[in-house]
Amino acid sequence: MTTLAAALAASDGRAAGPTADEAGAPAVRVRGVRREFAGRAVLAGIDLDIAPGEFVALLGRSGSGKSTLLRILAGLDPDATGHATVPDRNAVVFQDPRLLPWARVLDNVALGLKGKGARAAAGAALAEVGLGGHERAWPATLSGGEAQRAALARALVRSPGLLLLDEPFGALDALTRIRMHTLLRDLCRRHRPAVLLVTHDVDEAILLADRVLVLTDGRLSLDEPVRLAEARHRSDREFGALRARLLAELGVTDDETDGETGEEMSIETDVGAE
Ligand SMILES: Nc1ncnc2c1ncn2[C@@H]1O[C@H](COP(=O)(O)OP(=O)(O)OP(=O)(O)O)[C@@H](O)[C@H]1O
Ligand SMILES: [Mg+2]
Residue 82 pLDDT exceeds 50? yes
Rounded distance from Cα 197 to ligand 2 centre (Å): 11
Task: Classify 4-268 by CATH class.
Answer: alpha beta
Looking at residues 30-36, what average pLDDT do you find?
A: 97
Residue 224 pLDDT exceeds 60? yes
Looking at residues 155-162, what average pLDDT do you find?
A: 95
Q: Establish whether residue 218 lines the binding site of ligand 1, counting it when its CB lies within 6 angstroms of any ligand atom.
A: no
Looking at residues 28-57, what average pLDDT do you find?
A: 97
Q: Establish whether residue 271 lines the binding site of ligand 1, counting it when its CB lies within 6 angstroms of any ligand atom.
A: no
Looking at residues 163-186, what average pLDDT do you find?
A: 94
Q: Establish whether residue 199 lines the binding site of ligand 1, counting it when its CB lies within 6 angstroms of any ligand atom.
A: no
Q: Kindly list the domain boundaries of the chain, sorted by start residue.
A: 4-268
Looking at residues 251-265, what average pLDDT do you find?
A: 59
pLDDT at res. 8 = 55
Average pLDDT, the chain: 88
pLDDT at res. 256 = 67
Rounded distance from Cα 147 to ligand 1 centre (Å): 25
Ligand 1: residue whose CA is nearest its atom 26: 62
Question: How is the chain classified by DSSP, letter by letter?
Answer: --BHHHH-EE--TT-SS--TTTTT--SEEEEEEEEEETTEEEEEEEEEEE-TT-EEEEEE-TTSSHHHHHHHHTT--TT-EEEEEE-S-EEEE-SS----TTS-HHHHHHTT--STTHHHHHHHHHHHTT-TT-TT--GGGS-HHHHHHHHHHHHHTT--SEEEEESTTTTS-HHHHHHHHHHHHHHHHHH--EEEEE-SBHHHHHHH-SEEEEEETTEEEEEEE----SS--TTSHHHHHHHHHHHHHTT--HHHHTT--HHHHHHH-B----
Rounded distance from Cα 72 to ligand 2 centre (Å): 12
Looking only at the bridges linking them, the beta strands covering 81-86 and 28-37 are antiparallel
Ligand 1: residue whose CA is nearest its atom 9: 68
What percentage of the chain reaches a pLDDT higher than 90? 78
Residue 10 pLDDT exceeds 60? no
Q: How confident is the model at residue 76 (pLDDT cuts 50, 70, 90)?
A: very high
Atom of ligand 1 nearest to the CA of 200: 25
Starting at the edge strand that comes first in sequence, how are the strands of the sheet with 28-37 ordered? 9-10, 81-86, 28-37, 40-50
Three-class SS of residue 178?
Answer: helix
Rounded distance from Cα 199 to ligand 2 centre (Å): 8
